[in-house]
């Protein structure tokens, strides 16, 4: 899939725009923004317009490279919303702030004597005023394009001052002076309340072939549309006995899955399909390792539910960006796993809605345990903790006891980590498109970091990274050692998961050896 030409990997999508069917053809190199702009062009609207796609059942379709193909007979319905410029007062307020700050910097009679504490004072004042206006923008409904324009205006002023007063002010040590993002760091409260209910969530009858296939690590997650993925997740809860274990109302289970789906963003990689991918791998490992013989049903429920919730409302920019850019999330969580803490918060915000609380019928002590375990598991997906988590399990293996809760928790932490980064365990035609999606998200972040003067990780820089360089070290030093550790407890993992990883490593090493120098990075652009 990933090794063919862009023409061979093209995808045709049919759209219904104002009652007329349109066709667009996407190459495998198309990013989410490219697809959005292409749809906007087909609809004859501004590229800054909000675009929503729904299938024939009314389900929301993510605008991303992973969106499913469809047929002319069942086109995606396109709805567009033109950005509003109604709140001109807020725009004027921004202009006033920018004008005043420019005047402060450029007309100071003692510019050459400006002290660092004065610069910091002005920076703090500007930041506070911008934050107040930003909050008004969010509350009063201005669109992303307007916020982005304000951000660019602030950035332009920073650039002008930097070039005119380089000897006096070091702006690299003053970040963040201006608004660092056009997206809200926090989940949209309106998304927490369910937008569509169970009647619009069709019931699928799964064939026995699909039921068996779903348990395999070779499962092709690209073959399934959003509603189908919801039905497959629902099946997992029933098949593992979790609906009975937690006395889950089946309708509540459907509502919860719908609400979770709506709280994943349309990122190239960290989207609802990734959530499904991770959960399906956990479901496969539960069956391969027969974990019900070693763990309680409650443990299995915590594992599966943590996978489903582990990246809720991911903004598409990692913890390093959050911390370096001093985003609202980084400040809220004191630079400690800001994204993972946010995923947990959104997960339990959804569960706080009685219509979506799948654990509503458990007693208080059970719910308390479930919550505590989910927090531990989701926080364990922070790669900054990888070494410590894997080494702890490795140290326990010689005397591992399944009746020891600390031992079992250590295993569960490594299991969710395995599933979270398990794409290379899958067949190449399944794993390869995920690398494209991940690199697209990396490149989006590094481009933004360059624009904002932040440090850029080499593995995210489109000028430096290639597919082989991105994957070889990760497979050799992260994936294989971790899966080999689990294989010491469950030998079947060596054949079904470690061996495919070794094959993937060898394939990328061969790709690196045969690639033409200095051309691979350009191909990925």
Element (H, E) at 259: helix 250-262
Could you give phi then psi for residue 12, rounded to 5 degrees? Answer: -100, 130
The torsion angle over the Cα atoms of residues 417, 419, 425 and 426, rounded to 10 degrees, is: -160
Helix (H, G, I), strand (E, B) or coil at 509: helix
- CA 490 to chain CA centroid, Å, is 30
* Residue pair 101/169 in contact by the 8 Å Cβ criterion: no
Tell me the angle at which helices 272-288 and 405-420 cross, rounded to the nearest 10 degrees: 130
* 3-state DSSP assignment of residue 140: helix
Gap between the Cα atoms of 157 and 453, Å rounded: 14
Distance CA 479, CA 495 (A): 14
Q: Which of 270, 310, 342, 343 is catalytic?
A: 270
Instruction: Let me know the angle formed at the C-alpha of 140 by 137 and 145, rounded to the nearest 5 degrees.
Output: 50
CA angle 215, 219, 223 (to 5 degrees): 130
Asked if 59 and 227 count as a contact pair (C-beta separation under 8 A), the reply is yes
- Determine contact, residues 418/47, Cβ cutoff 8 Å: no
Whose structure tokens read 């494209």?
436
Tokens of 519: 């051309």
Distances, alpha carbon 292 to alpha carbons 105, 307, 407, 440, in Å = 66, 17, 16, 38
CA gap 448, 458 in Å, rounded: 14
Query: Using alpha carbons only, what angle is made at residue 243 by residues 359 and 309, rounded to the nearest 5 degrees?
Result: 55
Catalytic, 270? Answer yes
The upper half-sphere exposure of residue 252, i.e. CA atoms within 13 Å in the direction of its Cβ, equals 17
Active-site residue set: 270
């Amino acid at each position: 899939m990933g090794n063919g030409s862009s023409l061979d990997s093209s995808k045709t999508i049919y759209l219904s725009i104002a009652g007329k069917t349109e066709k667009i053809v996407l190459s495998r190199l198309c990013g989410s923004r490219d697809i959005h702009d292409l749809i906007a062009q087909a609809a004859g609207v501004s590229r800054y317009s909000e675009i929503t796609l729904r299938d024939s059942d009314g389900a929301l379709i993510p605008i991303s490279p992973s969106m499913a193909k469809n047929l002319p007979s069942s086109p995606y319905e396109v709805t567009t919303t033109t950005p509003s410029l109604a709140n001109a007062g807020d725009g004027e307020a921004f202009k006033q702030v920018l004008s005043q700050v420019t005047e402060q910097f450029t007309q100071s009679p003692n510019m050459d004597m400006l002290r660092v504490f004065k610069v910091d004072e002005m920076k703090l004042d500007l930041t506070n005023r911008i934050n107040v206006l930003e909050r008004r923008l969010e509350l009063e409904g201005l669109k992303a394009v307007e916020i982005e324009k304000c951000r660019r205006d602030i950035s332009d002023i920073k650039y002008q001052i930097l070039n005119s007063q380089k000897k006096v002010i070091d702006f690299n040590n003053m970040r963040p002076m201006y608004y660092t993002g056009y997206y809200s760091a926090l989940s949209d409260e309106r998304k927490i309340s369910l937008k569509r209910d169970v009647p619009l969530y069709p019931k699928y009858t799964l064939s026995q072939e699909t039921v068996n296939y779903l348990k395999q690590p070779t499962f092709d997650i690209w073959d399934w549309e959003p509603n189908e993925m919801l039905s497959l997740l629902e099946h997992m809860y029933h098949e593992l006995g979790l609906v009975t274990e937690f006395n889950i109302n089946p309708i509540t289970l459907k509502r919860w899955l719908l609400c979770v789906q709506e709280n994943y963003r349309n990122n190239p990689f960290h989207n609802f399909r990734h959530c499904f991918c991770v959960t399906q791998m956990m479901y496969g490992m539960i069956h391969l390792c027969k974990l019900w013989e070693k763990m309680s049903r409650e443990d299995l429920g915590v594992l599966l539910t943590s996978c489903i919730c582990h990246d809720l409302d991911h903004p598409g920019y990692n913890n390093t960006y959050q911390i370096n850019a001093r985003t609202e999330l980084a400040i809220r969580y004191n630079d400690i796993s800001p994204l993972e803490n946010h995923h947990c918060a959104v997960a339990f915000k959804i569960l706080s809605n009685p219509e979506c609380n799948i654990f509503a019928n458990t007693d208080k002590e059970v719910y308390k345990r479930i919550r505590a375990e989910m927090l531990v598991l989701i926080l364990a997906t922070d790669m900054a903790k990888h070494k410590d988590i894997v080494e702890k399990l490795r140290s326990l293996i010689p005397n591992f006891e399944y009746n020891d809760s600390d031992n079992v928790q250590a295993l569960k932490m490594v299991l969710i980590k395995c599933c979270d980064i398990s794409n290379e365990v899958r067949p190449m035609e399944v794993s390869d498109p995920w690398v494209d999606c991940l690199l697209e998200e990396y490149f989006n972040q590094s481009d933004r970091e360059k624009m904002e003067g932040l440090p850029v990780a080499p593995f995210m820089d489109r000028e430096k990274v290639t597919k082989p360089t991105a994957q070889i070290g990760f497979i050799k030093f992260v994936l294989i050692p971790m899966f080999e550790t689990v294989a010491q407890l469950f030998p079947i993992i060596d054949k079904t998961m470690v061996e495919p990883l070794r094959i993937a490593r060898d394939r990328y090493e061969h790709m690196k050896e045969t690639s033409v120098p200095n051309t691979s990075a350009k191909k990925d652009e």
